[in-house]
Structure 1
Amino acid sequence: MKNYVIEESTREEHGLVDKGIVEYNLSKVPFTQEPSFMSINRVIKGSNGDMLAGVNSILYCWNCLYIDVLWVRDGFRKEGYGSALLNEVEKIAKEKGCKLIHLDTFDFQAKDFYLKHGYEVFGVLDDCPLEHKRYYMKKNI
């Protein structure tokens, strides 16, 4: 490799990188869902309209669901809001043909919560962040 420059990408270049990997993946394994990427995001609000909890997830390419974030406001944890949201996105994903869900969580977050809901650890990243663990989890549905 000669005569090259590494620089911060523009928003357009960021999109081209994403588009490039999607096209490559599609050339190797056909997508099994339409649209290829479908957000499944839900919130729970209290009677005054304040958001108490939420989940952001995406059903992608091969009917796999990736749960990016599941959050419950302090003071409302352990009241069933997280379970209600998890059950909701799992139900929607299953209705759309999903067979596999995956996510990651830290040792100071919700590993035991996900284990209780049938998820299993398939990988651990030590010292991410330092002196902590990041757990990669999955569930077949």
Structure 2
Amino acid sequence: MSEISIEPCNGQEIKFISDGLNEFNLSQVPPLAPNWTSFDFVAKTKEGVEIGGILGGIGYWNGLEIRALWVHEKYRGMGLGSRILAYIETLARKKGAVIAMLDTFDFQAEKFYLKNGYQPIGEIKDFPMGHRRIYFSKRL
């Protein structure tokens, strides 16, 4: 083991690691979907100005994973975030998703996700220091 080096990955090596993990996971639990389905959407004004959006997707076991949801400060408090969230949840349900999952920080959108029916399932205290990282899920 002393002859092993640990180095930064290139694209091919990232794929090698991801493929290895996917192969193991799928040998343990059969997939319900053939692959990752991206659900990345941007919200625009009628003039085409980008004002927010959401990044996510559905994985092998029909879970909607929300990686990011952002609304420009000027458009917050108008229901746009809830509208974007409901949009992706509806699409995910139509594709067979049964659960949504995400994480946020207490200074970001904790109250927003609670208001939209998400349940906290865990947290990391003092990350970053003096704050919490909260993990949420919601049955679709």
Equivalent residue number for residue 38 of structure 1: 37
Give the alignment's TM-score, normalised by structure 2. Answer: 0.96
How far 1:10 sits from its partner (Å)?
Answer: 1.4
Task: Name the aligned partner's letter for residue 117 of structure 2.
Answer: G
Q: Per-residue CA shift, 1:95-116, capped at 9, x if unaligned?
A: 1111111000001100111111
* Cα RMSD, aligned residues only: 0.9
How far 1:131 sits from its partner (Å)?
Answer: 1.5
Which runs of 5 or more structure 2 residues have no equivalent in the other structure? none
Equivalent residue number for residue 50 of structure 1: 49
- Which structure 1 residue ranges, 4+ long, deviate > 6 Å from structure 2? none
How many residues in Structure 1 have an aligned counterpart in Structure 2? 140
Task: Name the aligned partner's letter for residue 8 of structure 1.
Answer: P
Note if 1:109 corresponds to 2:108: yes
The separation in 1 between residues aligned to 2:90 and 2:77, in whole angstroms, is: 21
Note if 1:4 corresponds to 2:4: yes
Moved more, 108-117 or 126-135: 126-135
SS of 2:74 mapped into structure 1: coil
Equivalent residue number for residue 118 of structure 2: 119
How far 1:81 sits from its partner (Å)?
Answer: 0.8
Counting only pairs closer than 5 Å after superposition, residues 60-99 of structure 1 correspond to structure 2 as: 60-99=59-98
Q: Per-residue CA shift, 1:88-141, capped at 9, x if unaligned?
A: 000001011111110000011001111111100000011221221100000011
SS of 1:75 mapped into structure 2: helix
The separation in 1 between residues aligned to 2:134 and 2:36, in whole angstroms, is: 24
